[in-house]
Amino acid sequence: MNRNDIAAALESTFGDRVERDAALGDLTTYRVGGRASIRVRAESASELETIGKLIAGSDTPFAVLGRGSNLLVADEGFDGIVVTLGEGLASIAIAGTTVRSGGAAPLPVVARRTAAAGLTGFEWAVGVPGSIGGAVRMNAGGHGSDMAQSLVRVSVVNLATGDQAQLSLAELELGFRSSALGRSLVVTEAELALAVGDRERAEAEISDIVRWRRENQPGGANAGSVFVNPRPDSAGRLVDEAGAKGMRYGSAEVSTKHANFIQVDDGGSANDVAALMAAVRAQVHEHTGVDLHAETHVLGFAPEIAAAAGARRVEDRD
């Protein structure tokens, strides 16, 4: 099917959960960027399967947008289909020390719910404003832990084929801010194994993490850490050493509070952020010889712009 046929089929199946010429910027924490040709919201794994079967065999580009906490959408938007996950895929079920969480569940909510249930091992996630699915994809982490420490298995839907599958922890091949999940695979549920803990202690740790982040990281429109730490070093330290802290390009600025954050002015430009990412990378490489790679993913940008920013394009299937 061509793009119009797919849009019509989606509208026939999902009704008002399909939007043409849909705004994307407000769905990201940068709060900038353009529009998608088509946006559709799925509320279950079976609905994702239906979407995948409609997309299968088409050359129409597609992308999945979670909570948008590490995504930069080009000002020109994305000429394709964007799939978002609804509340039906954000459930959280706790039985003993086993937690089953929908792919759209916010990490801070899962952290607080598990702490309130007297479990420990997921407190770190309160400071990460992403979803469970996104956290699996990039093996998100912080404060000495990451997803690999508690993840058991995930359920996925392949949007390129419409097939469902389960993947074990070993099959996910989680590494430092990386996994083997291809771009077409959408996490619909994750199973976590936590440990019995003390509720008051867990909730106190959550409060400490929230306080630390407020004191050490900037607010405003940003997407968290821009560049992956080149272990054992720190990307923020390298940016600072290279003299790029506080660097500005148009409406985007490297935070003066934490050099691995970029903030955008109200009504700013996503293209300014990408240009600033490229400028920071170039300056760091010139001064330190280190080639930084972005944690931030991009959507709708030309390949050469994404490459200059050190970022992967969400729409590139692998």
Q: Which one is catalytic: 47, 123, 189, 295?
A: 295
Residue 220 φ then ψ, to 5°: 75, -170
177 is catalytic: yes
Q: Which pairing describes strands 119-120 and 141-142: parallel, antiparallel, or unpaired?
A: unpaired
Contact residues for 189 (Cβ-Cβ < 8 A; gap 6+): 45, 89, 100, 101, 102, 103, 154, 155
Within 10 angstroms of residue 155's Cβ, the number of other Cβ atoms is 18
Which entry of 69, 225, 255, 269 is annotated as an active-site residue?
225
Contact 223, 69 (CB under 8 A): yes
Cα 280 to Cα 259: distance, rounded to the nearest angstrom:
10
Which distant-in-sequence residues (6+ apart) come within 8 Å of 172 by Cβ?
A: 136, 151, 154, 179, 180, 181
295 is known as an active-site residue? yes
**DSSP bridge partners of 192:** 99, 151
Would you say 72 and 33 are in contact if contact means Cβ atoms under 8 Å apart?
A: yes
User: What is d(CA 185, CA 102) in angstroms, rounded to the nearest whole number?
Assistant: 14
CA 235, 151, 94, 135 dihedral sign is positive
Q: How far apart are CA 184 and CA 280, in angstroms?
A: 30
Q: Of 24, 9, 18, 32, whose CA–CA distance to 272 is shortest? A: 32
Active site residue 225: yes
- DSSP-assigned letter for residue 178: B
> Is 225:215 a contact under the CB 8 Å cutoff?
no
One of 3, 113, 177, 312 is an active-site residue; which one? 177
Q: Are 296 and 280 in contact (CB under 8 A)?
A: no
In this structure, are residues 128 and 149 in contact, taking their beta carbons and an 8 Å threshold?
no
Active site residues: 177, 225, 295
